[in-house]
C-alpha cells in the first residue's frame, strides 16, 4: 500500500491497534483501597477494578446488566459488587449473585445474569487486566521485573496520559538519536548505537554515549555496584532498550559491570477506541549505592530529571500525533534501521483497528509469546 504523502509501502502503523491478548497495567495499586472501586479504560472499553474487603481484586465491565449504570458507582459488599441503582449484586466472575428486592433472585433471561469479567492480577505495585480472550490469560507470559522485589533497588513510579498512539512511545524510547531534543538537560551528548537485534515479537538496541554531559546519568542515576571486573572488559556505560511486545524495557550497566544500575519497565495502554491516547505506566528502579544516604539525597533530583525528560518527550510525541491527524496518514520518513525493525514488530504483533481480533488470530501469535502449562500465571479474578 503506497501512502500518497508518505515514504513507506508498509501499512500505516498508526492504524494498528494493540493486541488485547496480553497483560496490561491499568492503575497503580495504591489508588485502589479495600472496599473500593476504580474506573479504568482499555481501548474504549470501560472497566471497573474492585478491591474486596478481604483485599483481593477483580475486574468487570463497568456497566450493570439491568439499566447500564456504571458499576464503579456501586458498593463493595464482602467479595461482591452491588450496583448503586437497584442494588443488583455481582460476584468476581461477573455472575449476578442476587437481586435484593426479588425472592430467589427472580426470573430473568440468561443474558441479564452476568456482565463480562476480566482476568485480573496485582503485581509490581500495579493492577493488571487481560482484556483479550480470557482462555489465553493463564497461557500468556506475565511481565517479569526481578529488580522490583530486590532490596538492592529503590523504585519510582510514573503514570501519565498522553495524546498519541501508543506506537509513538515505543519509537521514542528506542530511538536514542533524539537526545538532541534533551540538549537543555544533557548538553551535547551523542548516542552511538553499537548493535541491534530483532525477532518475531521483540526488537533490542544497545547504545553507548559520548561527549556532552555524559555523566548526568552516571553521577546521580547510575550508582550500582560492580561485578567481577576481570570478566567484564567493557569500559563504557551500556544502555539496552528492548521492546518485548507489548511492553518496553531500558537497562543501564556501568562500565566494567553486568549488574543493572538502572532498570525502567514501561507499558502504554490505549484509552480510546481509535487508540489516539494512551496511559503510560513506568517503573524506574535505581540500584542502591553502598552509602544509602546518597540515594536519599539524590532522589528528588532524579525525579525532577526524569519528569523533565518525559515532559520534553510528551511534547514531541503529541506533536507527531497532531501531524498524523492533520495529514490523515503516516508521512514519517524513518531512516533508523532499528526503528524500521521495531515498526515491523509493532505492525506484525498488533491488530487492525477496524477489525476485531479473533481467537484464531490470537493463536497465530509467535510461540515465544505463550508459555506452557508448567509456567502459567494464576489469575486472581
The whole-number average pLDDT for the span 157-169 is 97
DSSP β-ladder status, 351-352 and 278-287: unpaired
Q: What is the mean pLDDT of the chain?
A: 85
Point out the least confidently predicted range of 159-163, 248-252, 260-264, 362-366.
362-366
Hey, what's the cell of 344?
515491523
Per residue in 271-304, pLDDT (tens digit) is 999 999 999 999 999 999 988 788 889 999 999 9
pLDDT at 187 (0 to 100): 78
Distance CA 97, CA 88 (A): 8
Helix axes 292-327, 166-174, angle to 10 degrees: 130
Backbone angles phi, psi at 215, to 5 degrees: -100, 10
Distance CA 37, CA 123 (A): 18
pLDDT at 303 (0 to 100): 92
Quick check: bond before 246 cis, omega within 30?
yes
Higher pLDDT, 189 or 305: 305
Point out the least confidently predicted range of 4-13, 89-98, 195-204, 335-344.
4-13
Q: What pTM does this model have?
A: 0.86
Domains defined along the chain, listed by start: 24-129 (2.102.10.10), 146-368 (3.90.380.10)
Per residue in 124-145, pLDDT (tens digit) is 999 999 999 999 999 999 999 9
pLDDT at 379 over 50: no
Return all residues near 89 (Cβ < 8 A) that are at least 6 apart: 77, 80, 81, 82, 83, 96, 97, 98, 99, 100
Per residue in 225-250, pLDDT (tens digit) is 444 434 467 888 999 999 999 999 99
8 A C-beta contact, residue 79 and residue 54: yes
Alpha carbon dihedral 59, 62, 64, 68, in 10-degree steps, equals -170
Q: Which residue has the cell 533497588?
A: 153
The whole-number average pLDDT for the span 88-108 is 79
Distance CA 254, CA 261 (A): 7
Amino acid at each position: 500500500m503506497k501512502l500518497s504523502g508518505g515514504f513507506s509501502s508498509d501499512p500505516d502503523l498508526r492504524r494498528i491497534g494493540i493486541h488485547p491478548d496480553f497483560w496490561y497495567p491499568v492503575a497503580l495499586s495504591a489508588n485502589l483501597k479495600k472496599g473500593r472501586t476504580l474506573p479504568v479504560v482499555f481501548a474504549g472499553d470501560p472497566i471497573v477494578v474492585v478491591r474486596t474487603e478481604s483485599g483481593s481484586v477483580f475486574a468487570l465491565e463497568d456497566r450493570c446488566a439491568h439499566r447500564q449504570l456504571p458499576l464503579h458507582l456501586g458498593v463493595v459488599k464482602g467479595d461482591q459488587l452491588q450496583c448503586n441503582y437497584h442494588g443488583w449484586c455481582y460476584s468476581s466472575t461477573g455472575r449476578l449473585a442476587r437481586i435484593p428486592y426479588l425472592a430467589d433472585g427472580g426470573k430473568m433471561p440468561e443474558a441479564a445474569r452476568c456482565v463480562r469479567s476480566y482476568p485480573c492480577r496485582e503485581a509490581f505495585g500495579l493492577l493488571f487486566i487481560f482484556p483479550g480472550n480470557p482462555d489465553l490469560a493463564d497461557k500468556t507470559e506475565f511481565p517479569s521485573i526481578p529488580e522490583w522485589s530486590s532490596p538492592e533497588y529503590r523504585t519510582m513510579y510514573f503514570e501519565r496520559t498522553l495524546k498519541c498512539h501508543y506506537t509513538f512511545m515505543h519509537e521514542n524510547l528506542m530511538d536514542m538519536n533524539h537526545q538532541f531534543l534533551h540538549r537543555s538537560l544533557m548538553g551535547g551528548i551523542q548516542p552511538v548505537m553499537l548493535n541491534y537485534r530483532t525477532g518475531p515479537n521483540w526488537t533490542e538496541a544497545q547504545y553507548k554515549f559520548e561527549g556532552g554531559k555524559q555523566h548526568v546519568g552516571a553521577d546521580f542515576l547510575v550508582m550500582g555496584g560492580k561485578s567481577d571486573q576481570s570478566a567484564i572488559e567493557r569500559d563504557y556505560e551500556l544502555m539496552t532498550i528492548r521492546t518485548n511486545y507489548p511492553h518496553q524495557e531500558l537497562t543501564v550497566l556501568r562500565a566494567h559491570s553486568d549488574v543493572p544500575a538502572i532498570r525502567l519497565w514501561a507499558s502504554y495502554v490505549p484509552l480510546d477506541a481509535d487508540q489516539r491516547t494512551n496511559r503510560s505506566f513506568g517503573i524506574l528502579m535505581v540500584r542502591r549505592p553502598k552509602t544509602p544516604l546518597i540515594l536519599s539525597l539524590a532522589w528528588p533530583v532524579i525525579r525532577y530529571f526524569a519528569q523533565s525528560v518525559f515532559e520534553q518527550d510528551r511534547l514531541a510525541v503529541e506533536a507527531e500525533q497532531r501531524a498524523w491527524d492533520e495529514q490523515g496518514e503516516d508521512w514519517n520518513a524513518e531512516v533508523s534501521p532499528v526503528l524500521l525493525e521495531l515498526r515491523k514488530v509493532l505492525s506484525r504483533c498488533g491488530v487492525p483497528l477496524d477489525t476485531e481480533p479473533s481467537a484464531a488470530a490470537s493463536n497465530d501469535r509467535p510461540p515465544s509469546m505463550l508459555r506452557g502449562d508448567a509456567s502459567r500465571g494464576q489469575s486472581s479474578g
